[in-house]
């Protein structure tokens, strides 16, 4: 009997990744033809992006966070375009409609993607760069790597501490945990980024669209393994550049808690905006307040 139970348990464990798998489609030209925005080719595939506003104006690049693609920037993108900026938003590799290359999702990959995008869009003047959550360390890394290419920096609820990845770091075991435990709950978990989740009933469904394309889970896991260390050294380097930096944080953030602002402000001189009744996405929950302040900061 015990032997039969062991076999049954083994069968269930093997079957679970297939049961929970929603990556049933290849991301190809037919799916991309239905997507908004445009695409550019790079050495690692295609980057999905949107470029709007006068090309002669100052350029603002919007870098999203760990998993939600460029639609997360909707209120900020529209506000900046309305105020005369040229604005570019894009999907990080592995997210949205961008390619999902099978490689290490690390600092070098994310910075190469930005350089390729700006070159393709013929952006030659220094830019303003805005990062949300994991986008925070990406824009900090980009600014410290290319200080001559950046005018001002905006950080919104930026990631800063090392993530606890534990078993995710182990080959095969990490993949199993991602497939069976983490990925199945990712779409519903996104709603906790809001202070008032009930105001965004379609948020989880929007997130699920990208999850159906093969390579999403692999990209998320690779990012956890290769870009989840302590980011404080990068922020220290950013602070040493003495560039204008604005830091925005939702007071009710449960994803990257509000107290983290002190850690960054200790090493970076910032214009700081704390946002009441807002979670991890203050630009989305309090768009008038936050995006007006961003426009003012960039125009000063």
What are the residues facing 57 on neighbouring strands? none
Supply the CATH number for residue 273's domain: 3.40.50.1820
| Predicted confidence band of residue 20 (pLDDT cuts 50, 70, 90) | low
The first and second tokens of residue 185, run together, are: 């709950």
245 SS3 class = strand
Domain span at 235: 2-299
Residue 241 has pLDDT above 70, yes or no: yes
- Centre a 10 Å sphere on the Cβ of residue 167 and count the other Cβ atoms it contains: 10
Give the dihedral sign, CA 92/197/246/53.
positive
79 neighbors 53 (Cβ within 8 angstroms) = no
pLDDT tens digits, residue range 192-239? 999 999 999 999 999 999 999 999 999 999 999 999 999 999 999 999
42 SS3 class = strand
pLDDT at residue 16, as a whole number: 65
Residue 4 has pLDDT above 80, yes or no: no
The H helix count followed by the E strand count for the chain is: 13, 8
pLDDT tens digits, residue range 82-115? 999 999 999 999 999 999 999 999 999 999 999 9
The chain-wide mean pLDDT, for the chain, equals 95
The first and second tokens of residue 36, run together, are: 């908004």
Instruction: Count the domains in the chain.
Output: 1
291 neighbors 284 (Cβ within 8 angstroms) = no
Q: Tokens 């006068």 — which residue?
A: 54
| Gap between the Cα atoms of 205 and 186, Å rounded | 11
Per-residue DSSP letter, 163: P
Residue 8 has pLDDT above 70, yes or no: no
What is the signed CA dihedral for 227, 232, 238, 242, rounded to 10 degrees?
A: 170
Quote the percentage of the chain above a pLDDT of 90. Answer: 92
Residue 5 has pLDDT above 80, yes or no: no
């Amino acid at each position: 009997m015990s032997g039969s139970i062991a076999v049954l348990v083994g069968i269930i464990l093997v079957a679970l990744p297939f049961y929970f798998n929603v990556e049933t489609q290849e991301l190809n030209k037919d799916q991309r033809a239905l997507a908004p925005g445009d695409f550019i080719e790079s050495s690692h595939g295609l980057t999905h992006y949107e470029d709007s506003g006068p090309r002669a104006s100052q350029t603002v690049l919007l870098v999203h966070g760990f998993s939600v693609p460029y639609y997360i920037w909707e209120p900020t993108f529209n506000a900046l375009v309305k105020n005369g900026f040229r604005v570019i938003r894009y999907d990080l590799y592995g997210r949205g409609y961008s390619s999902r290359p099978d490689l290490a999702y690390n600092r070098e990959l994310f910075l190469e993607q930005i350089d390729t995008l700006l070159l393709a869009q013929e952006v030659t003047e220094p830019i303003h760069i805005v990062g949300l959550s994991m986008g925070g360390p990406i824009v900090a890394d980009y600014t410290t790597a290319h200080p001559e290419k950046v005018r001002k920096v905006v950080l919104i609820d930026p990631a800063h501490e090392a993530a606890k990845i534990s078993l995710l770091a182990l080959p095969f075991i990490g993949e199993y945990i991602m497939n069976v435990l983490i990925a199945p709950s990712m779409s519903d978990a996104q709603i906790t980024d809001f202070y008032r989740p009930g105001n965004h009933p379609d948020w989880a469904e929007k997130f699920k669209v990208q999850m159906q394309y093969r390579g999403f889970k692999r990209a998320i896991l690779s990012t956890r393994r290769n870009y989840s260390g302590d980011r404080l050294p990068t922020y220290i380097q950013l602070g040493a550049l003495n560039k204008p930096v604005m830091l925005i944080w939702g007071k009710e953030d449960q994803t990257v808690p509000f107290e983290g602002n002190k850690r960054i402000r200790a090493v970076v001189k910032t214009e700081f905006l704390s946002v009441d009744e807002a979670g991890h996405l203050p630009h989305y929950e309090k768009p008038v307040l936050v995006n007006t302040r961003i426009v003012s900061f960039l125009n000063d």
